[in-house]
């Protein structure tokens, strides 16, 4: 009776000497005469067995024994066709017979019912005297390798599809810029065939005036300082047209060394055309504004002289002794003086707006203290503040990057607007500031009737004053918003960049 331990199996026949060296070195199993290392296991999971010239299984490792139909060491000393195929005779087309008859190794692949794929290698074994002794059969489960290869092929196929069918031009380049692979969209973009592009470098397509663009970022990318580099430049097509293209390059680093560049080339000609049209319209608008400003300035100057004469005449009438004018006429003169004063404000506003629209500031903008600007504005407005019995209060105000003269003018218009259009005397005007999202917000509020109410009574609640403020703020990237407080008063908020 055989022992339960396969390594203690009684020998049936000695194994050929060439079988053990070097084939079975370090690979444990059982034999029908000699033993490999006791209780050892093949670390690769490969099934190994030796079949003699009579197709008798003489040796098998544990993995091979476990897979035979009769199981365990009972398989040893029995024919392979009986153990593996359950047949009474040698199978037709038996690969072991092919090896024994030809003396040539055979490799094949096959599947098992459990879905695994095996690579089987059959090698003839000879004795020291050169006599054929049998076949060494090794079977390795290559299913993980097959799955990996299938996954890699699928991944490569998906990548190839993405490359070839991308909506933008794509290219694989070496570090000299030579094209190694291009897709159809790039061919369509530049008008060259695939075979032609593969003989060219990217620099061959670049407009001569643009070749220097992006060179610094490209060098930093190759040094590993940037993950990718992008630049807008013109590519010259086969028919000589210049096409604006956004080129983004990323390094391909197999083995952690940059060997190739993956480049995406997107046609941005339409975007560039739209941008150029926008700039043209902006320039045209600036010219129109300048012309409008000059026209307003001329009109204001033309109105100033007759308006001054009108005000002088009204002043003379107003200074006439009470017995020279009736009460009704005195009242009418007072009303006309108010209208003339308002017209004078409008003319001054037109001149100021014309000057603002024609001004430009340089890159070096000084810092200005908003608290000092507010104090200067209140000094200029003191007669009006006292006449209307108004109070101006302020919290902590910031330093902002605005020409100091412009900031004073902004404060004069904001506070003056509140006094003139608050709808009543005794106004309280509060100026506060807050900071958020990298901007300063200065809020000027009053407890008057509000902008909507003053407009409904026929009093202009803002007019040129706020228009001038908007124009001044625009010079510094600022903005203006109007609103109403909870108590119904007017609130004007200006915002300026913080630095």
Question: Structural domains in the chain?
Answer: 6-141 (3.30.450.20), 166-267 (3.30.450.20), 273-358 (1.10.287.130), 361-499 (3.30.565.10)
Per-residue pLDDT at 8? 33
Q: Which residue has the higher pLDDT, 79 or 332?
A: 79
Per-residue pLDDT at 309? 74
Asked if residue 437 has pLDDT above 60, the reply is yes
Q: Which residue has the higher pLDDT, 459 or 487?
A: 487
Asked if residue 468 has pLDDT above 90, the reply is no
Sheet holding 490-497, edge to edge: 391-394, 428-436, 439-446, 490-497, 479-484
Asked if residue 18 has pLDDT above 70, the reply is no
Q: Which residue has the higher pLDDT, 464 or 135?
A: 135
User: Measuring CA to CA, how many Å separate 348 from each of 68, 256, 307, 421?
Assistant: 109, 71, 12, 17
Per-residue pLDDT at 52? 93
Question: What contacts 178, CB < 8 A, 6 or more positions away?
Answer: 200, 201
CA dist., res. 31 & res. 40, Å (int): 13
Confidence of residue 348 (pLDDT cuts 50, 70, 90): low
Q: Which residue has the higher pLDDT, 104 or 257?
A: 104
Mean pLDDT of 123-129: 91
Asked if residue 111 has pLDDT above 90, the reply is no
Asked if residue 462 has pLDDT above 70, the reply is no
Mean pLDDT of 247-256: 81
CA dist., res. 345 & res. 356, Å (int): 16
Per-residue pLDDT at 392? 94
Of the listed ranges 22-31, 80-89, 212-221, the one predicted with least confidence: 22-31
Confidence of residue 246 (pLDDT cuts 50, 70, 90): very high
Asked if residue 89 has pLDDT above 60, the reply is yes
Per-residue pLDDT at 201? 93
Q: Is 13 exposed, middle or buried (0-12, 13-18, 19+ CB in 10 A)?
A: middle
Share of the chain above pLDDT 90, in %: 32
Per-residue pLDDT at 27? 39
Per-residue pLDDT at 85? 72
């Amino acid at each position: 009776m055989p022992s339960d331990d396969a390594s203690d199996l009684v020998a049936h026949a000695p194994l050929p000497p060439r079988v053990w060296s070097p084939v079975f070195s370090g690979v444990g199993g059982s034999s029908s005469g000699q033993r490999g290392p006791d209780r050892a296991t093949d670390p690769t999971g490969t099934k190994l067995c030796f079949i003699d010239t009579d197709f008798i299984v003489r040796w098998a490792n544990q993995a091979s024994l476990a897979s035979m139909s009769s199981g365990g060491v009972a398989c040893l000393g029995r024919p392979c066709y009986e153990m593996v195929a359950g047949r009474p005779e040698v199978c037709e087309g038996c690969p072991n017979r092919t090896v024994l008859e030809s003396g040539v190794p055979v490799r094949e692949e096959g599947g098992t019912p459990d879905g695994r794929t095996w690579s089987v290698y059959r090698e003839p074994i000879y004795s020291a005297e050169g006599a054929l002794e049998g076949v060494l059969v090794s079977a390795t489960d290559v299913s993980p390798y097959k799955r990996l290869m299938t996954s890699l092929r699928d991944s490569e196929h998906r990548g190839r599809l993405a490359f070839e069918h991308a909506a933008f031009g794509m290219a694989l380049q070496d570090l000299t810029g030579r094209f190694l692979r291009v897709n159809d969209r790039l061919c369509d973009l530049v008008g060259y065939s695939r075979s032609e592009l593969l003989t060219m470098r990217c620099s061959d397509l670049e407009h001569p005036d643009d070749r220097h663009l992006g060179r610094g970022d490209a060098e930093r990318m190759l040094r590993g300082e940037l993950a990718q580099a992008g630049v807008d430049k013109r590519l010259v097509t086969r028919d000589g047209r210049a096409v604006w293209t956004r080129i983004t390059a990323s390094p391909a680093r197999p083995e952690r060394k940059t060997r190739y560049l993956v480049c995406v080339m997107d046609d941005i000609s339409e975007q560039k055309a739209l941008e150029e049209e926008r700039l043209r319209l902006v320039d045209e608008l600036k010219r129109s504004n300048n012309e409008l400003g000059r026209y307003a300035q001329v009109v204001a100057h033309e109105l100033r002289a007759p308006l001054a004469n009108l005000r002088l005449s009204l002043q003379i009438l107003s200074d006439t002794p009470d017995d020279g004018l009736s009460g009704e006429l005195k009242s009418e003169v007072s009303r006309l003086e108010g209208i003339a004063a308002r017209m004078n404000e409008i003319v001054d506003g037109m001149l100021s707006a014309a000057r603002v629209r024609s001004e430009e500031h340089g890159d070096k903008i000084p810092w200005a203290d908003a608290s000092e600007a507010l104090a200067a504005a209140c000094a200029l407005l003191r007669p009006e503040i006292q006449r209307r019995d108004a109070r101006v209060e302020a919290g902590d105000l910031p330093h902002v990057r605005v020409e100091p003269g412009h900031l004073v003018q902004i404060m004069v218009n904001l506070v003056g607007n509140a006094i003139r259009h608050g709808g009543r005397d005794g106004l309280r005007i509060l100026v506060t500031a807050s900071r958020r999202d990298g901007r300063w917000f200065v809020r000027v509020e009053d407890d008057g009737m509000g902008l909507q109410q003053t407009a409904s009574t026929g009093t202009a609640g803002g007019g040129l004053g706020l228009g001038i403020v908007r124009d001044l703020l625009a010079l510094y990237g600022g903005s203006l918003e109007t609103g109403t407080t909870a108590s119904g008063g007017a609130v004007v908020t200006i915002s300026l960049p913080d630095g």
